[in-house]
Amino acid sequence: MFTDSIKNGPQNATHRSLYHALGLTQEELSRPLVGIVNSYNEIVPGHMNIDKIVEAVKKGVLLAGGTPIEFPAIAVCDGIAMGHVGMKYSLVTRDLIADSTECMVMAHGFDALVMIPNCDKNVPGLLMAAARLNKPTVFVSGGPMLAGHVGDGKTSLSSMFEAVGKFNAGKITEEELEDYACKVCPTCGSCSGMYTANSMNCLTEALGMGLRGNGTIPAVYSRRLELAKHAGMAVMDMLNKGITALDIMTEKAFMNALTVDMALGCSTNSMLHLPAIAHECGIKLDLTIANNMSAKTPNLCHLAPAGRTYMEQLDEAGGVWAVMKELTKKGLINTDCMTVTGKTVGENLENVRNLDPETIRPVENPYSETGGIAVLRGNLAPDGAVVKRSAVVPEMLVHEGPARVFDSEEEAQAAINAGQINPGDVVVIRYEGPKGGPGMREMLNPTSAIMGMGLGSSVALITDGRFSGATRGACIGHVSPEAASGGMIGVVEEGDIISIDIPANKLELKVPEDVLAERMKNFVPKTKELSGYLKRYAAMVGSGASGAIINK
């Protein structure tokens, strides 16, 4: 055990004195020290229950002969941060979480780790840290919330944002809007659709870093506490067997995660996070792989916002493992990958069944023969742009229309609210990328306003920023290079015709080449006065096309 080198012997008596200051007994110090890094706080709904998960994990570690010691990680609620300057501070926390966790573990020398994230940037941030630290590590999330109910239908956070659009369009009253506000998020947990948090927690299972149900068991179910206890036991088993994070997060494991991503119809943010996590594992994950994977992977699930099923239904249907079992029928899953169970993927899936073919379509009857995410390229996005294809209505898969150009989310939102966007338009929001934002804001407000106003089947949005996992419609993000880095999106002018062909993976600005060349020659990107962490982040962050990785 690593901690033996800092716990035992006369030369480490000083260390022992500080362990005793914590109230640790000699018996506890004789066991492996297991770090329980968790993001409990009282501001993020997906994290307010994590203190209960922590206690359950500790019991599991104790039952299996370890000594659990917890320490915190920060977390931002993307929903609360949405639509104002706070969203600039969301993506940037991914690297803060990874860096601070690395510091805590290396400074205190834990033997193994259980990581307890839930929402958005915590999951990839802690996976990045797990890769750097390469210790026996198990993930167990706080779990998704249950779907809400307004009238006769189930709802989720995306329903709330779209309700605001309906209110602004005069389609519902203020009283009806408040009814949504009180009912769409009825419990603690990560929001109930296949948004970024649930996408990443599900993909943690696909990577092999979480036990079955990590991504799908609802936060309020007692099964979540049982799962947490088993996670504590599992990490001790990994320690005894010498299995570490990089034994699990291999190139084949990332191919499994991408495949499951396509089958589930995950958030487009997975195209930021998977490359960043892979980078920490020493693996290059290029966006071009996504289209190749999508071409051969059927889309089996349409969870909100793409459809009317929710995380609790995916859990009842058999969860992520049931999706993976369906994919094995086409040979799309690498079954020899090691997992935190101490068994291979193939061994884990032996007795798994799809319990609900409506929620998880069989591979013989998919929603589509291609995956839920597409990467588009063309003169407007030579390095790529990302769209959640499974959440685009059929009539918008191919679209051509005039550009409506805005240099910030706020400008675009004001125009949408004022009724200045017309059917057929292509809304362009730039200077919202990793460097230009900075922080690559999610823009659920404008996308939801478009949907709520009834323009979802006639208006497209493109941006060098990103969209929430709750976004649906022809919303194309991560346009790279971004405007702040001199990308073509920076020279789009009002009225330019933009052509979108999602099945063909094309995004083109239909302006003569000589005109574009002249515009690019004279183009000087706009800059912003920055201070604090955002100033450092903007100076160091790389392209969204490669995961917005900090250039170290």
Instruction: Tell me if residue 112 falls in helix, strand or coil.
Output: strand
Strands 497-501 and 475-480: unpaired
Could you say which DSSP state residue 32 is in?
P
Strands 153-155 and 148-150: antiparallel
**CA nearest to 95, candidates 73, 67, 118, 119:** 73
Q: Do 187 and 312 form a contact (C-beta atoms < 8 A)?
A: no
Please provide the DSSP assignment of 395-431 as one string.
GGSEEEEEEEEESSHHHHHHHHHTT---TT-EEEE-S
Tokens coding 358: 């409506």
Sheet holding 67-72, edge to edge: 67-72, 33-38, 112-116, 137-139
| Alpha-carbon gap, residue 410 to 173, rounded angstroms | 24
Cα–Cα distance between 116 and 73 in angstroms, integer?
Answer: 9
C-alpha gyration radius of the chain: 23
Inter-residue contact 93 to 75 (CB < 8 Å) = yes
- Listed residue (102, 95, 25) closest to 62, CA to CA: 25
Q: Report the distance separating Cα 425 and Cα 402, nearest Å.
A: 5
Kindly give the residue spans of alpha helices, DSSP state H, lying in 192-244.
196-207, 222-241
Give CA–CA dist 526/312, Å, rounded: 45
Q: Cα separation of 487 and 463, whole Å?
A: 11
Catalytic residue among 199, 468, 480, 543: 468
Q: Report d(CA 366, CA 378) in Å as an integer.
A: 29
- C-alpha to C-alpha distances, 252 to 73, 172, 298, 322, 447, nearest whole angstrom: 29, 49, 19, 19, 35
Q: Which two structure tokens, joined as six digits, stand for 114?
A: 């259980």
Tell me if residue 531 is catalytic: no
Exposure letters 298-328 (e unless 16+ CB within 10 A, then b): bbbbbbbbbbebbbbbbbebbbbbbbbbbbb
Instruction: Give the integer Cα–Cα distance in Å for 464 and 484.
Output: 9
- Spatial contact of 143 and 118, defined as CB atoms under 8 Å apart: yes
DSSP state of 466: B
**Contact between 362 and 354 (Cβ < 8 Å):** yes
Q: Bridge partners of 85?
A: none
Catalytic residues: 468
